[in-house]
Chains A and B, each alone.
Chain A
């Protein structure tokens, strides 16, 4: 835990970045929580009088951490979400209307020549309080996202189903455990070499009396014809509805498409990212970790061979049937709308003021 009080902001940022880089905070959930805490502290301690100043300062900080951690999409997501919260609260306070405010650019706005460039310059009293309230709600949303997703489990799993899942995801685990209370079904878990975290999931599920079978990655296609559903968790959801998920999931989604098996993706809203996959070369997309798990360093040929160990896989949106997030199910073609609700287009590029 960071000792947040009274440290200069640069120190806090550095600590935050190094904690993530050194894998002290490994999973997305922890990173999300810590980011919210950090930014809440910033909003508290930055000297600001107009919202514009606050936004600029936060965008600066956001720019620093996203450029220091380009492969952690979750950081950018949370930063943009917080900026959007501030904008929403500001406009809410200014307009004082009951109407739903759409911050997005649209044809409608162009045609009616509305005042879309709001300067955010007027001073609004009590803005800080309302921002903090909203941030609290956001934190609660993050904490309860897994449960909210799990609540929908019974709508998607029927009895005697055979479900396939890949690797270990906390959302999927909770989802299946919730469903197992009322339904009996079987689960096939692929091991996901070389880290083999599928093993842990299989053990956990079996402890909850869910019939689970552990299979190595190579067996996946062979049994796919008998699987009823594929349920996977993700690292993040890209803006076009594609997924950034565990390695091997692309093969799983292709096999599922081959046998017309629905692919259900469990993704809480904070994993929705505004980024697109620009090229299949994946330089800015994939994280490569130690090749030791693939080919041992003690192997004689290791100096003459290129060994890759990518962590993530890109799954295109055509292979995804359904997204389940904490506020319900969506089709991949609707992701653009969800994005527009939680992020503001001006925040997509944090470098511009």
Chain B
């Protein structure tokens, strides 16, 4: 038996081993070694990034791994780097936070690593079986992370709601997979595409399977009407976990969404296009409208992340190459915008809690102008105002959708972006136009150099993408140039 089979799989093997090492290191170093263990986990992510870089084929050639269960292509490499960035930033955001809440230890970074491994497998899944296993590895790690503060009832409640609805959606997705398997006789995505394009089918079992799979995937990206878990899970989770689940798992879910729908089910485009169209429209409308009346910043950002999933769905509805690469670009920009915004929520502390209510932000511009300026920048980016990266990301998605002929949907998207200005600027008004005298609780920016580093990094990246979008967009385009199944 040859070990060559495993060579392109080395980054994943390393990540699995690292998660165990981090867990054991956490136990031996005790509660006081939180920062050391987080640093160890971050270092292993950096090594994984190097390994991914080494084994990636710069030519863009597609290489099957483990007998075609996984595939190594530019698309998976793009999402692997994105996920690694999200996980590493989460580790740096969480170390100080966990120390302050006395929840330190090795379990947290170890679970982040296993979730990262699950997202790696999702990013390169070429078979519905490996896709499911990767999805569950990610989801199970994340359920535990959401309920990590086990003595906090809100953390527990968020985890329970996320778990019950997440497991149900996995069941629905699996039921769809079983129906697709029954009607096409294969779980392999390339074979599904080949079978569908040689003999287009419209039998009821297959269509039901595709629709159920779409429901499962829409749940994972938190699209309306499958979004009910999102606000509670985001609000209840420890804030660094909220930052993580709003970007990492969402990007990975978009990776499998694109690979299954935009690639494998592409020949049946007309059958599922309307489902995604309706979901995108509802997601943009409901996400933005519901965000208006939130007084809790985490909840407001939860609805905002629902709305952003709706914008990204536009690229899938467009179905063109430009649409798919626009989704990749959107996920990249969104990752840095959202982690930055949640990082600021972590850094603003009031009465021992993160700055969760909008009134905590009153008068921040007087007390720490730099922090207020950075938060203003993230709000501009999330609203999609130039010269931030958020504007460029929206521009590419919207123009791809217009070119594909979905003018109506883009009109909804632009109108809803205008609505989103209202709730993003509510926070800005609070920071700049209130004097903060009524904020007796004294919400202050805390000193946590690691978390500050992450926030500044996100600011720089978003600004750089806003000013020079071309290199990133070229990278995103390269991501689909040799998508493993075409």
Q: A and B bound?
A: no
Residues of chain A touching chain B, judged by Cβ–Cβ distance below 8 Å, are: none
Residues of chain B touching chain A, judged by Cβ–Cβ distance below 8 Å, are: none
